Amino acid sequence: MRNSKFQISNSKFNEGFTLAELLVAMSIFVIIVTVSSGIFIRSMQDENRLTAIMGTQSSLNSALEQMAREIRGGYLFNDLTTGSPDCGTTGASLGSLNGYSSMTFVGPNGTTTYSLSGGRIERNGDFLTSQDVNVQNLCFVFSQIAGRSCNPWRVNIFLNAEPVASNSNVQPFYLQTTVSSRVLPKDMPANVKSQYNYGQCK
């Protein structure tokens, strides 16, 4: 006896997708791929931007930390710095001040010079900042007039820098810090005080 319940028609398996259905499916697939690619590209750009920011901050913080450490143990900042003021501090919180793009002083390890060379901060010929950071401006402002005060030396450091990577799309960093020397003019050797007109500091 023939069981009609288990008879299966093969007519449905012989039918294919219509052109309209294929176009709709392909359109949906293209949209999904496009959106996914956009999200992936933006994620990569954000990651590159974050990496550039972290690298720039790390390099600048390391350089400022070393400068601050030597400044605290140094003296004769503005006395050994020669020339006329050649940089400004426009937009700094201290107002518009004139300063120097390089600084020479007597530090814990002898005479030390900080300057800007090829977009990098340099200390006695050695670079402090990495080649991935472009320092656009470096300015030192001294709050003590050479040989006229017995107060501690105070150095204001201003700089702005940005990552070298052209595709990082990171705004320049503007940094400012003030460091006071722990060495008083009265604590200098007698011959140094007389040579640089600090003999009145007892």
pLDDT digits (tens, 9 = 90+) for 131-159: 889 998 899 999 887 778 899 999 999 99
Q: How far apart are CA 157 and CA 201, in angstroms?
A: 26
**According to the per-residue pLDDT averaged within each range, which of 34-43, 68-77, 93-102, 165-174 is highest?**
68-77
Partnered with residue 173 across adjacent β-strands are 161
pLDDT per residue over 157-172, tens digit each? 999 888 887 555 677 8
Within 29-172, strands assigned E span: 87-88, 98-99, 103-107, 110-117, 120-123, 126-127, 133-142, 154-163
Q: Where are the domains of the chain?
A: 31-195
- CB 92: neighbour CB atoms within 10 A? 16
Alpha helices by DSSP H, listed for 73-169, are 77-80
pLDDT per residue over 66-94, tens digit each? 999 999 999 999 899 888 888 876 554 54
Supply the pLDDT for residue 20: 82
Residue 34 in this model has a pLDDT that exceeds 80: yes
pTM assigned to the model: 0.73
Supply the pLDDT for residue 163: 87
Q: How far apart are CA 168 and CA 122, in angstroms?
A: 24
